[in-house]
Amino acid sequence: VQRSLAGVDVEKYGRNLSVALAVLGNFGPTEVPDLVAKAAKSDDPWVRSEALASLTRVQTEEAVQLVIKGTQDSDETVRLSAIRTLGEQNPKGGMDALRELVLKDPSENVRSLAVSTLVNSYWGDDEAVAALLQEVAQNDTSEQVRATAAAMAEHVGTRPWGTSDDTNENRLSVP
């Protein structure tokens, strides 16, 4: 599948590539397929968003870097997709990207999802997350984000079901 899609013109076929991107992502390739890398740079925000979502199962430094770069995209939908993918990939470098979004993103939807993803995916750094949640719950300009931070603060320090204490050590380390 990957080889047959390698030369596809992303800009020409754009939104018609969603199934191909999903299929590539579900294979959990060991590298970022060329089509996904091209789609992540598309002019169409929807295509960029789908490309990032397809990287959920790709645990390589290149994939993580593409997703972290997606957290800085000008389009809110792309940033939301990047957050969801970071939550699934759970790379060490993802926590800093999420923290940056929580504190500085102009969209309350992005900040709110980043808050919950921090708690649900990065529970190993309890003190840092707890301090961030307290700051956000008291100071964010959005009532929605303040409420999310306050609600999520109750979950800091709890382990997600089915995880062990060594989960954070097994995450991909990205400089």
Q: What is the DSSP code string of the chain?
A: -HHHHTT--HHHHGGGGHHHHHHHHHT--SS--HHHHHHTT-S-HHHHHHHHHTTTT--SHHHHHHHHHHTT-SSHHHHHHHHHHHHHH--TTHHHHHHHHHHH-S-HHHHHHHHHHHHHH-TT-HHHHHHHHHHHHHH-S-HHHHHHHHHHHTTTTPPPTT--TTGGGGSPP--
Region 142-166: mean pLDDT is 73
Q: pLDDT at position 39, please?
A: 86
Kindly tell me if the per-residue pLDDT of 35 is higher than 80. Answer: no
Region 101-115: mean pLDDT is 97
Nearest to 93 by CA among 129, 57, 69: 69
Q: pLDDT at position 170, please?
A: 39
As a whole number of angstroms, the distance between CA 33 and CA 57 comes to: 12
As a whole number of angstroms, the distance between CA 54 and CA 18 comes to: 9
**pTM to 2 decimal places:** 0.78
Region 124-140: mean pLDDT is 86
Cα 1 from chain centre: 25
Percent share of the chain, pLDDT over 70: 68
Kindly tell me if the per-residue pLDDT of 24 is higher than 50. Answer: yes
